[in-house]
Amino acid sequence: MRRAVQACLPALCFLLKDMNMKQFLALTLLTVGMLFTACTGCKSEKQQVPQPTEFEQSMTKKDTADVQQTIAQFFGFLKNKKYYDAAQMLYSRPAGAGSEMELLSNKEMDDYVSFWKNFDFDAYSIEYVKFYAADKNEVACNVVLMKGRNGAPDATTMMYFTPVYQDSKWHLILTDSRHGETTITQEGQKNPEKIYERRDSLKDVYENSDAAKNKK
């Protein structure tokens, strides 16, 4: 802003030579108003930058590594076809975020195992890990459900988890629109429909799978 004012000074000096008092006052008020508007705009832009929460600031590289290790253990079970071991790592919060966690019911576990038996899980990669609070965090994973064969593309999907820190360890809540978990990312808050479409991609794959069709 200082450079902009300095650049305008020669022009202002030239104009002031031929101005009367009324014109001078009008120009002064206009200039002050423009500078005030510019400063207000800069301030509002700065206020839009989200500040890290106290919990987020307390997180260390070890916390990130622990969450990544928990995710790795879950997908390791899937890779080794230990589907029930993977399902037993997952929790839900029927009453929504902030409520008590519950292990999946026997039926939910059976449905989950039936789903994964339809695929030959290949690999995953973590897109991001986002911390916010002890019971409100987010991990997004790109998952290759099955490698493509004979020139066909890989079968892929997105999986979202809500890592919750409880009893000195991290637990995983599988997240989609059915579980009432809300996104904590800026992108998700700006485009909730887009983020929930991605969150529900695994659910959509399941509903079109042989396991789901056989139950109808």
CATH 3.10.450.50 fits 60-215, yes or no: yes
Tokens (6 digits) for 201: 């991609």
Alpha carbon of 33 to those of 14, 38, 45, 95: distances in Å?
A: 21, 9, 18, 51
Residue 175 phi/psi, 5° resolution?
Answer: -115, 125
Instruction: Tell me, yes or no, if the pTM score tops 0.75.
Output: no
Residue for token digits 């991290």? 170
Structure tokens at 204: 């959509």
Domain residue limits, the chain: 2-44, 60-215
Banded pLDDT at 188 (limits 50, 70, 90): very low
The per-residue pLDDT for 192 is 47
pLDDT tens string 20-71: 555 555 545 555 555 555 555 554 445 566 688 899 999 999 999 999 999 9
- DSSP count for the chain of H helices, then E strands: 10, 6
One-letter amino acid at 206 equals: Y
Whether 194 contacts 200, CB under 8 Å: no
Q: Determine the Cα–Cα distance for residues 163 and 120; give it in Å rounded to an integer.
A: 25
HSE-CB of 111 using CA atoms within 13 angstroms: 12
